[in-house]
Amino acid sequence: MSVSTVSYVVWGAMGALALLLWWLSYARPSAVAHPSDVVGRVVTHPVGRIVVVVGLMWLGWHLFAR
Amino acid sequence: MRAGSVVLVAGGSAYALIAASTTPFTLPADVCTGLVIVGMAVLVIVRWPLRTRFARLAARAPEAPVHPCLPWLLLLVVFTAWELFNYLVPGSRADHPTFSSITDANDRFYVLKALLFLGWMAAALLIVRRGARR
């Protein structure tokens, strides 16, 4: 197995894990918070909301403009 | 689906299709991306309260061993660690792809790039709404 294959497998596993957590947030909401609730919690934190907004702005600029 | 939501989805999709047709490192790409960033900044300034009250989650069930946000936090930690490892480790980007290089490959396909742009705008809208005064 090549190095790049291992890298892509790990990325894929993280994507699958995110989907699993998303499903669990509906199936077992007391164990796994729904993504929008996590976002809601972070963006009501005085520092967290600034980090999230600036981070998302940077991400868009990085992915689509530069 | 309400009329407002239909207009929002249709407008967002049309804008994402336009933005996806631009090429990075060009003025049109800067303008299309920059307009969304400016719009997000304006919405945050207008809709978000100056001071916040930390949102509480629903009460944790007695059988839940960990905080319900913890799985997402762990995933974020693993994602960040893997991204940093791939970025810093010696070797080619082909051998050690970062999240950016994977999305660069994705951007070669017009529809996938438009979906990614739409997802980015949707995330921005979600963040603005969740942080807005209720």
Q: What is the pLDDT of residue B49?
A: 87
pLDDT at B132: 86
To the nearest whole Å, the CA of A36 is away from the closest chain B CA by 8
Q: What is the pLDDT of residue A46?
A: 87
DSSP state of B59: P
Put simply, whether B42 touches A (Cβ < 8 Å) is no
* pLDDT tops 90 at residue A23: yes
CB B127 within 8 A of CB A43: yes
Q: How far is A17 from chain B (nearest CA, A)?
A: 8
Q: What pLDDT does B125 receive?
A: 94
Regarding whether A47 and A25 lie in a shared domain, the answer is no
The chain A residue lying nearest B65, using CA atoms, is: A31
Identify whether residues A16 and A6 lie together within a single domain: yes
The answer to whether residues A41 and A18 belong to one domain is: no
**Inter-chain CB proximity B52 and A35 less than 8 Å:** no
Place of tokens 């989805």: B9
B114 compared with A4, residue with greater pLDDT: B114
Taking CB atoms and an 8 Å limit, are A63 and B116 in contact across chains? yes
A28 and A42 within one domain: no
Domain of A54, in residue numbers: 34-66
One digit per residue, the tens of pLDDT, for chain B of length 134 reads: 788 889 999 999 999 999 999 999 999 999 999 999 999 999 999 999 887 777 666 555 566 677 899 999 999 999 999 999 999 999 888 899 999 999 988 889 999 999 999 999 999 999 999 988 65
pLDDT for B17: 97
A23 to chain B, minimum CA–CA distance in Å?
Answer: 12
Same domain, A42 and A25: no
Is residue A45 domain-shared with residue A59, that is, in the same domain? yes
Give the contacts of B83 (CB within 8 A, at least 6 positions apart): B98, B99
Domain tally, chain A: 2
DSSP string, A13-66: HHHHHHHHHHHHHHH-TTTS--HHHHHHHHTTSTTHHHHHHHHHHHHHIIIII-
Residues A19 and A40 in one domain: no
**Cα–Cα distance between B86 and B65 in angstroms, integer?**
33
Do A8 and A25 belong to one domain? yes
Asked whether residue A42 falls in the same domain as residue A62, the answer is yes
Judgement on whether residues A23 and A8 belong to the same structural domain of the protein? yes
Shared-domain flag, residues A39 and A25: no
